[in-house]
Amino acid sequence: MDDRALLRHSLAVIAYRGGKTLRDAPASFADFDTGGGATPLTILAHISDLFDWALTMAKGETKWRSGAADDWNTQVARFYTSLAALDAYIGSDAPMHAEIPRMLAGPIADAINHIGQLALLRRMAGAPTVGENYYVADIVTGRVGPEQTPARRPF
Protein backbone atom coordinates (compact mmCIF):
# COMPACT_ATOMS: atom_id res chain seq x y z
CA MET A 1 0.00 0.00 0.00
CA ASP A 2 1.50 3.32 -1.01
CA ASP A 3 1.10 6.58 0.92
CA ARG A 4 -1.91 7.77 -1.06
CA ALA A 5 -3.68 4.44 -0.58
CA LEU A 6 -2.97 4.53 3.15
CA LEU A 7 -4.29 8.08 3.39
CA ARG A 8 -7.44 7.07 1.52
CA HIS A 9 -7.90 4.11 3.85
CA SER A 10 -7.58 6.51 6.79
CA LEU A 11 -10.47 8.47 5.29
CA ALA A 12 -12.52 5.27 5.06
CA VAL A 13 -11.78 4.64 8.75
CA ILE A 14 -13.01 8.16 9.51
CA ALA A 15 -16.19 7.56 7.51
CA TYR A 16 -16.86 4.29 9.33
CA ARG A 17 -16.04 5.42 12.85
CA GLY A 18 -17.31 8.96 12.39
CA GLY A 19 -20.53 7.75 10.85
CA LYS A 20 -21.14 5.59 13.86
CA THR A 21 -21.15 8.67 16.12
CA LEU A 22 -23.48 10.54 13.74
CA ARG A 23 -26.07 7.84 13.01
CA ASP A 24 -29.18 7.77 15.14
CA ALA A 25 -28.01 10.59 17.40
CA PRO A 26 -30.94 12.05 19.33
CA ALA A 27 -32.11 15.49 18.24
CA SER A 28 -30.83 17.02 21.48
CA PHE A 29 -27.29 15.76 20.85
CA ALA A 30 -26.29 18.53 18.44
CA ASP A 31 -26.49 21.18 21.15
CA PHE A 32 -25.28 19.07 24.09
CA ASP A 33 -22.89 21.25 26.06
CA THR A 34 -20.75 20.19 29.01
CA GLY A 35 -20.07 23.80 29.87
CA GLY A 36 -17.06 24.45 27.67
CA GLY A 37 -19.00 25.92 24.77
CA ALA A 38 -18.00 23.32 22.18
CA THR A 39 -21.05 21.32 21.15
CA PRO A 40 -21.26 18.27 18.91
CA LEU A 41 -22.58 20.57 16.19
CA THR A 42 -19.57 22.92 16.34
CA ILE A 43 -17.16 19.97 16.54
CA LEU A 44 -18.77 18.35 13.50
CA ALA A 45 -18.55 21.61 11.53
CA HIS A 46 -14.86 21.84 12.48
CA ILE A 47 -14.22 18.29 11.23
CA SER A 48 -15.59 19.24 7.81
CA ASP A 49 -13.48 22.39 7.89
CA LEU A 50 -10.46 20.13 8.39
CA PHE A 51 -11.36 18.04 5.32
CA ASP A 52 -11.87 21.17 3.23
CA TRP A 53 -8.51 22.52 4.42
CA ALA A 54 -6.77 19.21 3.63
CA LEU A 55 -8.21 19.32 0.12
CA THR A 56 -6.83 22.81 -0.46
CA MET A 57 -3.43 21.60 0.77
CA ALA A 58 -3.53 18.62 -1.58
CA LYS A 59 -4.28 21.00 -4.45
CA GLY A 60 -1.48 23.38 -3.40
CA GLU A 61 -3.80 26.22 -2.34
CA THR A 62 -3.75 25.91 1.49
CA LYS A 63 -6.76 27.96 2.54
CA TRP A 64 -8.60 27.70 5.84
CA ARG A 65 -12.30 28.44 5.86
CA SER A 66 -14.64 28.02 8.79
CA GLY A 67 -18.06 26.86 7.71
CA ALA A 68 -21.20 27.85 9.57
CA ALA A 69 -22.40 25.37 12.17
CA ASP A 70 -26.02 25.75 11.08
CA ASP A 71 -27.90 22.56 11.86
CA TRP A 72 -27.11 18.92 12.55
CA ASN A 73 -28.49 17.34 9.36
CA THR A 74 -26.72 19.90 7.17
CA GLN A 75 -23.44 19.28 8.97
CA VAL A 76 -23.79 15.50 8.75
CA ALA A 77 -24.27 15.85 4.98
CA ARG A 78 -21.32 18.25 4.81
CA PHE A 79 -19.15 15.73 6.72
CA TYR A 80 -19.67 13.13 4.01
CA THR A 81 -19.47 15.61 1.11
CA SER A 82 -16.18 17.10 2.33
CA LEU A 83 -14.76 13.67 3.07
CA ALA A 84 -15.77 12.37 -0.38
CA ALA A 85 -14.23 15.37 -2.15
CA LEU A 86 -10.92 14.83 -0.35
CA ASP A 87 -11.00 11.09 -1.01
CA ALA A 88 -11.75 11.63 -4.72
CA TYR A 89 -8.81 14.01 -5.11
CA ILE A 90 -6.38 11.74 -3.30
CA GLY A 91 -7.65 8.77 -5.31
CA SER A 92 -7.17 10.57 -8.61
CA ASP A 93 -4.04 11.02 -10.69
CA ALA A 94 -3.95 14.72 -9.79
CA PRO A 95 -0.67 15.89 -8.30
CA MET A 96 -0.36 15.86 -4.51
CA HIS A 97 1.02 19.22 -3.41
CA ALA A 98 1.04 18.38 0.28
CA GLU A 99 3.26 15.94 2.11
CA ILE A 100 1.09 12.95 2.95
CA PRO A 101 2.72 12.26 6.35
CA ARG A 102 2.05 15.88 7.34
CA MET A 103 -1.58 15.63 6.18
CA LEU A 104 -1.97 12.50 8.27
CA ALA A 105 -0.35 14.16 11.29
CA GLY A 106 -2.36 17.36 10.85
CA PRO A 107 -5.95 17.50 9.61
CA ILE A 108 -6.57 13.76 9.39
CA ALA A 109 -5.37 12.94 12.91
CA ASP A 110 -7.20 16.01 14.19
CA ALA A 111 -10.44 14.74 12.62
CA ILE A 112 -9.94 11.31 14.21
CA ASN A 113 -9.43 12.98 17.58
CA HIS A 114 -12.62 15.01 17.21
CA ILE A 115 -14.58 11.89 16.28
CA GLY A 116 -13.43 10.45 19.60
CA GLN A 117 -14.76 13.59 21.27
CA LEU A 118 -18.13 13.07 19.59
CA ALA A 119 -18.21 9.47 20.80
CA LEU A 120 -17.45 10.58 24.35
CA LEU A 121 -20.07 13.33 24.20
CA ARG A 122 -22.67 10.83 22.98
CA ARG A 123 -21.97 8.69 26.01
CA MET A 124 -22.16 11.72 28.31
CA ALA A 125 -25.43 12.77 26.65
CA GLY A 126 -26.95 9.39 27.46
CA ALA A 127 -26.87 8.05 23.88
CA PRO A 128 -23.72 5.92 23.67
CA THR A 129 -22.79 3.95 20.60
CA VAL A 130 -22.17 0.22 20.87
CA GLY A 131 -18.52 -0.78 21.14
CA GLU A 132 -17.12 -3.02 18.46
CA ASN A 133 -13.95 -4.73 17.34
CA TYR A 134 -12.67 -2.33 14.67
CA TYR A 135 -9.92 -4.75 13.68
CA VAL A 136 -12.53 -6.94 12.00
CA ALA A 137 -14.78 -4.08 10.82
CA ASP A 138 -15.67 -3.97 7.14
CA ILE A 139 -13.80 -0.75 6.34
CA VAL A 140 -13.25 -0.33 2.61
CA THR A 141 -10.96 2.21 0.97
CA GLY A 142 -13.10 4.57 -1.09
CA ARG A 143 -16.29 3.93 0.87
CA VAL A 144 -16.59 7.30 2.57
CA GLY A 145 -20.33 7.92 2.50
CA PRO A 146 -23.02 7.27 5.09
CA GLU A 147 -23.68 3.74 3.81
CA GLN A 148 -21.41 1.63 5.97
CA THR A 149 -21.57 -2.04 6.85
CA PRO A 150 -23.08 -2.75 10.27
CA ALA A 151 -20.71 -3.87 13.02
CA ARG A 152 -19.50 -7.45 12.63
CA ARG A 153 -18.66 -8.23 16.23
CA PRO A 154 -19.95 -5.78 18.79
CA PHE A 155 -18.26 -6.14 22.17
pTM recorded for the entire structure: 0.94
pLDDT tens-digit map of 135-152: 999 999 999 999 999 887
Looking at the domain assignment, is residue 11 inside a domain? yes
pLDDT tens-digit map of 63-99: 999 988 889 999 999 999 999 999 999 999 999 999 9
The answer to whether residues 75 and 41 touch, using CB atoms and an 8 Å cutoff, is yes
Looking at the domain assignment, is residue 8 inside a domain? yes
Q: What is the pLDDT of residue 30?
A: 96
Give the total number of structural domains in the chain. 1
We report the CATH number of the domain holding residue 46 as 1.20.120.450
Helix crossing, 3-22 with 109-124: angle to 10°? 20
Beta bridge partners of 132: 154
Looking at the domain assignment, is residue 140 inside a domain? no
pLDDT tens-digit map of 16-28: 999 999 999 999 9
Looking at the domain assignment, is residue 151 inside a domain? no
Looking at the domain assignment, is residue 83 inside a domain? yes
37 — pLDDT class (breaks 50, 70, 90): confident
